[in-house]
Amino acid sequence: MLAEAALDRGYNVIVSEVHGMAQRGGSVAVHVRISLNSNPLAPLIPKGGADIIVALECHEALRHIDYLSKNGVLVLNRRVIPPAIPKVKVYSVSEIAKILNELGIKYYDINAEELALRMGKPYVANIIVLGYLAGLNILPLSRENYVNAIKKVFPERIVLDNIRAFNEGYSYAERILGKDSSVMRAR
């Protein structure tokens, strides 16, 4: 969705997915590279080279935090999914927040599942996170770019649900930014 929004804006975009054990419930990392010019982009972001990481699950944030640049920002969904592997440490959201704070990571967090359930649409949590990212205004994309991407990607029967979810996340970001006048803050 982010790549589609950037394409809608006219940027050069390349997307690469790293699937690991996704077929068995494991993680999927998607690298989205966006450029203002037409120079070719490498498919993968090097470690320490990501301006933004969007983690749809808390453990994924920790698993991939080494990709975040020194001045990068993490957008974190407060969802915790215990790993399917036995005897693996499962961190709570507060433990993960403590680790991020100790590392000095700038991050914004949201409980997208809770907002999606309030909407009666649990399947839109990921689009709530996208709306939250958009509302933070840390990317040079307009609200319209994202909405156009939603209209392009989703079947007509669920476009309105996803636009509403996007707007829910966007409004949540506006409320957060309204409480804190700085655009980026370390939590």
Interacting residues of 183 by C-beta distance below 8 A, sequence separation 6+: 136, 137, 138, 177
Residues 50, 106, 19, 31: is their CA dihedral positive or negative? negative
Angle, helix 125-135 to helix 143-153, in steps of 10 degrees: 160
The residues spanned by each domain of the chain are 2-179
Q: Residues 116-171: pLDDT tens digits?
A: 999 999 999 999 999 999 999 999 999 999 999 999 999 999 999 999 999 999 99
Region 168-184: mean pLDDT is 78
- pLDDT confidence bin for 85, thresholds 50/70/90: confident
The class (CATH top level) of 2-179 is alpha beta
Please indicate, yes or no, whether the overall pTM of this predicted structure exceeds 0.85: yes
